[in-house]
């Protein structure tokens, strides 16, 4: 496992694999606070907040006072309890626009939905300054499509991420208003996310739920681990459903309630079903099945066909930030994933003859 740590260190440091990109700030107004407009109060209390961004957050319902939304002219009172939903904005990395092909599934003036191929890092960071999805977005959007008065659309509108070697759907916000609205939807767990995963082993049940906190491994700090008693990490909930059984591996659908770093990969390893060919969490070896020559060669051929963990972000659903209409998108399995499934189907048929 340790031989993969340097690459994973880069992945975790630049946020790759972190599903959600937001935070919640809790503030309590001091007893002696004079009446003050809430936008000015928040601007004074949160580092890096601008009045314009605060007002947009208020308008988008991202600021609550005593659990209720307010308007920008609301004046805070002593002991008011404020909750501010804010997109996390890591230290900015200079983004070099690059002409990288983008598979754009949908686009309007507010949002883009992109189908990311495996092998592409989402945004620049330690060890990955070029060739990322964000470099491609910077080129595609251009200065004329990004409000020059607000050039710091954080990470070019990313509100969630998927791992470098996970394929599938991402939504991109094209304005601050869309950014804050979508971030709140992710935080409130109202976004529909369905992943397809090929995992080792068979399941007795047809569906189930994994509830275990996810956080950094206590010994190997560059990987994640599951903590079922909740003593470390953050709450994580994954629902799964069996779609197709191949005796030694199983195709499942996973629905996320939370979005933690490597959540599906860690949860599946935790219950004894690591993702097929997941070289970080134990899936890159024969986990189930007798190791005889033909079977071993078959599995190695599958690994060669799909040299990454078998995870695909298939479905993405959210409420459009402007029209408030439900939006739902689905992505077909990429060629490598589909090819491995077909190989397992043929192997199962031969195995049962």
Calpha distance 263→266 (Å, rounded) = 5
Phi, psi of 50 (to 5 degrees): -105, 155
Please return the burial class of 217, using the count of CB atoms within 10 Å of its CB with bins 0-12, 13-18 and 19+.
Answer: middle
**Residues forming beta bridges with residue 208, ordered by sequence position:** 240
Calpha distance 261→216 (Å, rounded) = 9
Identify the DSSP state of 234: B
- Nearest Cα neighbor of 42 from 56, 27, 60, 62 is 27
Helix pair angle (38-45, 51-59), 10° resolution? 120
* Per-residue burial over 119-156, b = 16 or more CB atoms within 10 Å of its CB, e = otherwise: ebbbbbbeebeeebbbbbbbebbeeeebeeeeeebbbb
> Which entry of 80, 110, 163, 181 is annotated as an active-site residue?
163
CB 123 within 8 A of CB 155: yes
Whether 284 is a known active-site residue: answer no
Measured in whole angstroms, how far is the alpha carbon of residue 85 from the centre of its chain?
A: 17
- Where on the phi/psi map is residue 244: left (φ > 0), alpha (ψ -120 to 50), or beta? beta
Calpha distance 200→273 (Å, rounded) = 5
Q: How far is CA 202 from CA 15, 233, 250, 292, 312, in A?
A: 32, 28, 6, 19, 20
Calpha distance 243→350 (Å, rounded) = 20
Indicate the pairing of strand 104-107 with strand 111-116.
antiparallel
Calpha distance 74→76 (Å, rounded) = 6
The residues annotated with a catalytic role in the active site are 163
């Amino acid at each position: 496992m340790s031989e993969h740590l340097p690459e994973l260190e880069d992945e975790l440091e630049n946020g790759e694999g972190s599903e959600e990109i937001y935070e919640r700030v809790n503030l309590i107004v001091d007893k002696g606070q004079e009446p003050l407009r809430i936008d000015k109060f928040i601007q004074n209390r949160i580092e890096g907040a601008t009045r314009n961004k605060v007002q947009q957050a208020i308008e988008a319902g991202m600021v609550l006072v005593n659990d209720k939304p307010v308007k920008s002219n609301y004046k805070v009172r002593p002991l008011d309890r404020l909750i501010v939903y804010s997109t996390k904005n890591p230290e900015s990395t200079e983004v070099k626009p690059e002409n990288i092909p983008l598979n754009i599934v949908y686009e309007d003036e507010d949002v883009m939905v992109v189908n990311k191929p495996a092998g592409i890092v989402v945004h620049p960071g330690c060890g990955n300054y070029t060739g990322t999805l964000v470099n491609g977005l910077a080129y595609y959007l251009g200065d004329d499509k990004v409000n020059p008065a607000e050039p710091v659309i954080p990470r070019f509108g990313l509100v969630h991420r998927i791992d470098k070697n996970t394929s599938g759907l991402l939504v991109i916000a094209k304005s601050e208003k869309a950014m804050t609205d979508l971030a709140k939807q992710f935080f409130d767990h109202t976004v529909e996310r369905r992943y397809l995963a090929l995992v080792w082993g068979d399941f007795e049940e047809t569906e189930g739920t994994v509830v275990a906190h996810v956080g950094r491994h206590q010994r190997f700090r560059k990987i994640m681990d599951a903590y079922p008693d909740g003593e470390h990490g953050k709450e994580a909930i994954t629902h799964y459903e069996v779609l197709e059984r191949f005796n030694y591996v199983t195709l499942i659908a996973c629905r996320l309630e939370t979005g933690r770093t490597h959540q599906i990969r860690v949860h599946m390893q935790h219950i004894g079903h690591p993702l097929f060919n997941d070289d970080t969490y134990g899936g890159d070896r024969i986990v189930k099945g007798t190791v005889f020559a033909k079977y071993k060669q078959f599995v190695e051929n599958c690994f060669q066909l799909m040299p990454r963990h078998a995870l695909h972000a298939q479905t993405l659903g959210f409420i459009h930030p402007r029209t408030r209409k439900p939006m739902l998108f689905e992505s077909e399995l990429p060629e490598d994933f589909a090819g491995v499934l077909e190989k397992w189907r043929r192997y199962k048929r031969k195995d049962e003859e």
